[in-house]
Amino acid sequence: MKNSLGLSFFVTLSLLVGSVSLEAHHGNASYGHAKQLTLKGTVTEWVWLNPHTLLKMDVKDDHGTVGNWILEWSAPSSLINFGMNKKTFKSGDEVTVVIIAPESGAPVGRIQRILLANGTWLNEGAISAP
């Protein structure tokens, strides 16, 4: 009886630990009912961390009010395959970003592609020159 209780405890603990790690990776579920937006703005920070990189930027709306956006992209291990790195963006860079944004209107989104000031498009599949 003692062994079966220990085994039950171990199995239960393993399932709980496994379920926490599964919950941690959300994927693109939050953008299920989303709209595509194009934002033009100034980079404030490029966060090169796992599990997703983040591009933070200031964007002016139609009334001139500046909004702070946080845009999610893929993991560094994916982006590095297409020539991107922790120095791809720096504070002050002017960029145009095509994103998928949630219908809630929150200033967040999932990056689809980025147009640099020199006319180069960046995306996960390729980097194309102007």
What domains can be seen in the chain, in order of their start residue? 30-128 (2.40.50.1010)
pTM: 0.74
Find, among 59, 129, 50, the residue nearest to 98 by Cα.
59
Give the pLDDT score at 23. Answer: 41
Residues of the chain under the 50 pLDDT cut: 11-13, 15-25
Sign, CA dihedral 25-107-85-79, equals positive
pLDDT, residue 34, reads 73
Please give the pLDDT value at position 69.
Answer: 98
> Two tokens at 47?
């966060």
pLDDT, tens only, 84-119 = 999 999 999 999 999 999 988 899 999 999 999 999
Cis peptide before 130 (omega within 30 of 0): no
What integer pLDDT is reported at residue 6 of this predicted model?
Answer: 52
Per the CB < 8 A criterion, the answer to whether 96 and 117 are in contact is no
